[in-house]
Amino acid sequence: MAQPAAMPVGAASVAVRQASLREHNLALVLRHIATAARPPSRADLATITGLTRATVSALVDDLITGRLLSEVVRTPRSGAGRPALGLTLAGHGPVGLGLEINVDYLAAVLVDLPGAVRHRAVRRIDLRPVPPAEALALVAELITEAGTEADRQDLVLAGTALAVPGLVSATGVVRLAPNLGWRDVDVPALLGGHPMLSGRGLSVDNEANLAALGELHAGPPDSANFIYISGEVGIGAGIVLHGTLFRGARGWSGELGHVPVHPDGRPCRCGGLGCLEQYAGQEAILAGAGLTDGPTPLARLIEAAGRDEPTARRALVEAATALGVAIAGVINLLDVDTVVLGGVYAPLAGWLGPPVEAEIRRRVLTAAWSPVTVRPALLGGDGAAVGAAGSVVRTVLEQPARWLARPLR
């Protein structure tokens, strides 16, 4: 009946075979190192995991050879003893490529195993008039650039995740992205042939979901229940409950932008009336502030709000009030304790926060004794791309054996 101490057995692994023991233990060692407060030594790891020191050393050697771990001198040399070597995640090994297609920009980032952003590129472009194949050709350019940059830094591309502002099927087909005008766009078919992607895996997901995942891993350890709101031209939400992304019954949860806030109000691109997007989306805010023409409207909005320009401030209050109405509905339904303002909402959080909080106080039944925190996203404007890259990196951390067994290129 006894289990080897180092191998946690989950419901999905009732019949764990001996052959997979090494896989489990590699991941276990890596997990301890990733979450340790200071770089543990091999001896520390043996104590923590209950594995023998010889086993730990063999696993650690494999992980170092595979460029997943680095050894660092942990304590300064004092007297004649050897310095203790601590183990940390390697910054010179695999990186995840995170891509984002949004309505008015494209983004690409490389994130390494310790979580540092090693490369970042953003292209401002209005993609609404651009056909999907052409938009994906622009994405392919970003991939080439990122791949070249990874080579230059001697990093290894572990995989790619693409964030899109729409509904994505399990096979990566964008079923609907209303603000892009996309419908049934088979992204893996159009992009998967890129030489830097082939064989490395390409996943496609909703941008708010990926940003929420990024926020979950970047955020404080107690941020287990929150709604991440991605304010762009469209408005999406990633819902994290008990530390897990909630995808809904069919994977299409979080369409906050189409929650009705004024049932008989403005028509929406989706065919509905009075959707939140029409009151709190980026374009509604800019139109309200009289900033639809000219370059860098968002920067000008922030500047105008900063100097208390009445039209800009009023536009932000109006948007935030609509946002607060929708958020109050979400909290009444889902009982989350934190609202994370992401996308363009992040730099506007100082102005959007108070009216949102006022609506929550006014409309959430439990608000009096169960306070709700409203805060800007930690990852900023390219949170979806960073979250996408992070999702690739976490796959490597969770399945190191797979990484070690990859065909070398």
Chain residues that interact with a second copy, rule: CB under 8 A: 1-3, 8-11, 14-18, 167, 175-176, 178, 224-225, 237, 239, 241-242, 246-256, 258-263, 270-273, 275, 321-322, 325-326, 328-330, 332-337, 362-366, 369-370
Torsion from C-alpha of 63, 66, 68, 71, nearest 10 degrees: 70
Minimum distance between the CB of residue 403 and a second copy, rounded to whole angstroms?
25
Residue 216 vs 261, nearer CB to a second copy: 261
Residue 98 vs 234, nearer CB to a second copy: 234
d(CA 371, CA 350): 18
Residue appearing with tokens 């925190």: 373
Q: Please measure the distance between the N-terminal and C-terminal CA atoms of the chain and give it in whole angstroms.
A: 43
Residue 345 vs 403, nearer CB to a second copy: 345
Burial readout 201-210 (b: 16 or more C-beta within 10 A, e: otherwise): ebbbbbbbbb
Minimum distance between the CB of residue 243 and a second copy, rounded to whole angstroms?
10
Minimum distance between the CB of residue 247 and a second copy, rounded to whole angstroms?
8
d(CA 84, CA 248): 48
Residue 219 vs 329, nearer CB to a second copy: 329
Residue 211 vs 237, nearer CB to a second copy: 237
Those residues with Cβ within 8 angstroms of residue 115's Cβ, 6 or more apart along the chain or in another chain? 217, 218, 390, 393
Minimum distance between the CB of residue 225 and a second copy, rounded to whole angstroms?
4
Minimum distance between the CB of residue 328 and a second copy, rounded to whole angstroms?
6
Query: In Å, what is the CA distance from 122 to each residue of 88, 146, 207, 218, 389?
Result: 30, 11, 15, 21, 15
Minimum distance between the CB of residue 162 and a second copy, rounded to whole angstroms?
20
Residue 153 vs 321, nearer CB to a second copy: 321
Question: How many Cβ atoms sit within 10 Å of the Cβ of residue 173?
Answer: 16
